[in-house]
Structure 1
Amino acid sequence: MTTTSTVTDSAGLSVYNANTNVGTGKSTMDQSDFLRLLTTQMQAQDPMQPMDNTQMVAQMATITNSTGIAEMNATLKSMASELTGTRLGDAASWIGKSMLVKSNIASPDAAGQYAGQITLGSATSGASVDLVDSSGNVVKTIALGDQAAGDVPFYWDGKDATGNTAATGPLSIRVNGASPTSVASWATIAAVQSPADGSASKLITALGSYSPTDAISLS
């Protein structure tokens, strides 16, 4: 239970004594408490000796300061949250790993291998994936065969029929014989960028920069 008491100020007005809060009630005063007290004080003041402007300004400043401190505390909590989880600490541990992200571009990993995934809305027969270079040439066609609806992975070791490296850079993903609802590829995480503005960290890959939440899967 919270009990309160009143004291009389120099103008003869009854005001709230914040130091008498006891029991299980609030031990601090927020903006609404200040506003309620100020309103009550103005209603109870002696019409012949009203509160002067100096007192009014001082009490309004107290309300403003209380609000500012509350907002600052909320900002600090938000910053603390950003510094954990998806911020630099956890994200840095992803360097060197591969993440599956939505992209119609496939990039080779350290071993020169290309891998990705298409998502089918319905079953299909005879679908395939073409990996196409920047000149529009099909470098590799990957047959998928008969597939049920859902996620279908694809993979290429980056070599031709004679075992020689056939590609070393990013290749476009083109799906034949099906209309996937989503196309994704695996990308190696090379670095982590922590923006100066305090926003969430970005994972740097050959396909671009991504948020940790963009990862469909991690390997």
Structure 2
Amino acid sequence: MSIDTSVSNPYLDSLRIDTSDSAKYETEEERSELSQEDFFSLLTQQLAYQDPFKPVENAEMISQMTSFSTAEGITKLNDQITDMNAIMSSSQALQASTLVGQKVLVPASTGHNDGDGIDGIVAAELPTNALTVTIEDEVGQVIKTISIGDVAAGTTQFEWDGTDLAGNPVAEGNYVVKANGFQDGKTVELASAVYAKVESVSLSNSLSEAALNLSGLGSITLSDVLEVAEG
């Protein structure tokens, strides 16, 4: 003879998950989430089957409702932030995409010669005498020296036409830009920035800042661009 050890309790039965085909759950996420309707249904069941000699205190009930409202509010806020990030990312991607094919000024001491040479700027905090810009290949060999002369504090443009000391065109590739001059009688090395062509735009999966892929120079973030020029 078998003994039925199951105990029927309406409250416990109401908490059991329906595993029949009639259960209308589409995803695991829906199974694990507690909606506001589910919460109040459980609260009603709790009140209906509470011990009459130990009823739920009003403060405890309010605490439960407050906790649920807070959790629900945080969930909605997270969803709104996620949506906002997606919108900002899309807007940034659209803005960055307009730069494809254009030239941007980036803070770098290496430029890419695609046959037309390299141009850029030299930044000096103080007036500088005998400013020169030297173009070197990647092994340090001097390709050309451009004499600019005395300049005021600020930025000064330079252009290299892609030829060597003899005036012959050099191979395409990356070349190092070095700027030197005299300030207060001392030799100083100055910071430079070069123009580079934007080939494409990339966005990471983490919705971080857009990256501009530059011809021959790799990637740079959109916020690091100093200036946009015609391609």
TM-score, normalised relative to structure 1: 0.69
User: Any residues of structure 2 matched to 1:15-30 within 5 Å, and which?
Assistant: none
Q: Does 1:192 align with 2:201?
A: yes
What is the CA–CA distance in structure 1 between the aligned matches of 2:143 and 2:190, rounded to whole Å?
A: 24
Give the letter for the 2:208 counterpart.
S
What is the CA–CA distance in structure 1 between the aligned matches of 2:56 and 2:117, rounded to whole Å?
A: 86
Match of 1:94 in 2: 99
Q: Does 1:82 align with 2:89?
A: yes
Match of 1:42 in 2: none
Q: Does 1:169 align with 2:173?
A: yes
Deviations 1:129-177 (A, max 9, x none): 1111122110010111111111011111102466531242111111222
Q: Does 1:145 align with 2:149?
A: yes
Q: CA deviation at 1:118?
A: 0.7
Give the letter for the 1:60 counterpart.
S
Cα distance change on mapping 1:55 and 1:189 into 2, 3 Å: same
% identical equivalent positions: 24
RMSD: 2.5
Q: CA deviation at 1:62?
A: 2.6
Higher alpha-carbon deviation: 206-215 or 155-164: 155-164
Runs of 4+ in structure 1 displaced over 4 angstroms?
A: 52-56
TM-score, normalised relative to structure 2: 0.65
Which of residues 117, 125, 128 in structure 2 aligns to 1:124?
Answer: 128
Q: CA deviation at 1:48?
A: 7.7
Q: CA deviation at 1:78?
A: 2.9
Tell me the number of residue pairs that the alignment of Structure 1 and Structure 2 aligns: 170
Match of 1:108 in 2: 113
Structure 1, unmatched stretches of 5+, are 1-46
Match of 1:133 in 2: 137
Match of 1:44 in 2: none
Cα distance change on mapping 1:90 and 1:137 into 2, 3 Å: same
Cα distance change on mapping 1:124 and 1:56 into 2, 3 Å: closer
- Determine which structure has more spread, i.e. the larger CA radius of gyration: 2
Structure 2, unmatched stretches of 5+, are 1-53, 183-187
What is the CA–CA distance in structure 2 between the aligned matches of 1:103 and 1:145, rounded to whole Å?
A: 22
Q: CA deviation at 1:199?
A: 1.4
**Helix, strand or coil: the match of 1:82?**
helix
What is the CA–CA distance in structure 1 between the aligned matches of 2:213 and 2:223, rounded to whole Å?
A: 13
